[in-house]
Chains A and B, each alone.
Chain A
């Protein structure tokens, strides 16, 4: 018998209450109960970063967080990045700089880069590579991902002046 618990949390600004088995992983709740399928499951073992979401203002791998651990949490997924005016500067950067090919890793890249640019708004290439070290991409060779994040950093820094 698997134990159920009720978990209340906010996802992309919207309050949700779900009843889940205690063993359910956050990534499954997001994808299968809330139908937010932008968050991907890659390795399922906290290596690849495709499942990265923002949990209480920190990047985490949602394949290695239990939903019951997200009680009262604020969660941001890739679906929450774009605003009413269109794409987030990071999304625009990934489009302009060809920061993706197959796109599987992209949601995790975007959500991690979003938090990374809050932590370090004007990073150099080395800092980007270190800050993004928890996200794997098998297509791009990372070169254009670095450029895309620099694109967003420049746009955001310019916008905030």
Chain B
């Protein structure tokens, strides 16, 4: 399969990239790692007239610490996320998630920014960004705005990003030493999307759950935040009954699309199981860290 014809542009700066999208009109698209967009173009699901390749834009590279946040260049590949000593030390959740994505070759091309901004509910980073309460910096030639991850996802392939905007930076918090984290993903095989996955971040205060975030991948049109499950656990000691209650509450918000990976009932059930496992692992890690 060969993609449809397009004009190809390779800007060398962010300014140039933003000027190109302005002059190219509605049919232009930014190209990140190309491991979602190129397959979609092969299938004629997407037929941009102009492709603006962000691969040569230096402003979109690199991973830096900035106070209690880490600023991630969206063109960082999944393997760069895995190999980042800074993330391993300050936000180890992200390298752990990236290891669950695709395979070694694909992780050399696929980027965290592409995964985040594409709007595909099957992608893994979006739910993790909700749990981290990350911020997305969106840039256009008109200026810059910062959108919280929790206000970014509207529907499948439908996000807060305008066509002339680029995701310029991803800002995540440094995880404190007492923070437990986990990402549990069920998939049929290497390279497949999640049947269901769950992300949990939690902090304890003398055995009591002080704060918890529970989010879900690929069981709705967007990544989901299981707010009722979070509220049920906050301020309580997390025992088996509390874990089960949270899993049941998380399952209530699932609305997965039926496909070859399973029907709604199966996927919802698996999402519940991923929530149980993620809470247990995050809890263990929070206790170990004390």
Query: Residues of A with Cβ closer than 8 Å to B?
Result: 1-3, 5, 21-25, 28, 44-47, 49, 52, 58-61, 64-66, 68-69, 71, 112, 116, 130-134
Contact = CB atoms under 8 A, between A and B. Distances in A.
A102 B177 CA distance: 52
B35 interface: yes
B95 interface: no
Nearest to A61: B105
A44 B42 CA distance: 9
A65 B105 contact: no
B5 A60 contact: no
B104 A116 contact: yes
A139 B6 CA distance: 39
Given A22-B5, A23-B3, A23-B4, 14 more contacts: A1-B5, A3-B6, A22-B7, A28-B2, A44-B42, A45-B1, A49-B103, A59-B105, A61-B105, A64-B38, A64-B39, A64-B109, A69-B34, A112-B105
Contacts of B1: 44-45
Contacts of A64: 34-35, 38-39, 106, 109
B10 A59 contact: no
A65 B2 contact: no
Given A64-B38, A65-B34, A134-B190, A23 B6 contact: yes
A24 B34 CA distance: 14
Given A2-B5, A64-B34, A47 B108 contact: no
A103 B39 CA distance: 26
A95 to B, nearest CB: 24
A29 to B, nearest CB: 12
A134 B105 contact: yes
Interface in B98-119: 102-106, 108-109
Contacts of A130: 104
Interface string B77-105: 00100000000000000000000001111
25 contacts: A1-B5, A2-B5, A3-B5, A3-B6, A21-B5, A22-B51, A23-B4, A24-B2, A45-B39, A46-B35, A58-B108, A59-B104, A60-B105, A61-B105, A61-B109, A64-B34, A64-B35, A64-B38, A64-B109, A66-B8, A68-B53, A69-B55, A71-B10, A116-B104, A131-B104
Contacts of A44: 1, 42
Contacts of B38: 64, 66
A23 B104 CA distance: 24
Contact of B106 (A25, A61, A116): A61
B102 A134 contact: yes
Contacts of A21: 5
Nearest to B34: A64
A66 B190 CA distance: 24
Nearest to A119: B104
Contact of A23 (B2, B39, B108): B2
A59 B51 CA distance: 24
B207 interface: no
Nearest to A67: B8
Nearest to B7: A3
Contact of A45 (B7, B42, B53): B42
Nearest to A47: B191
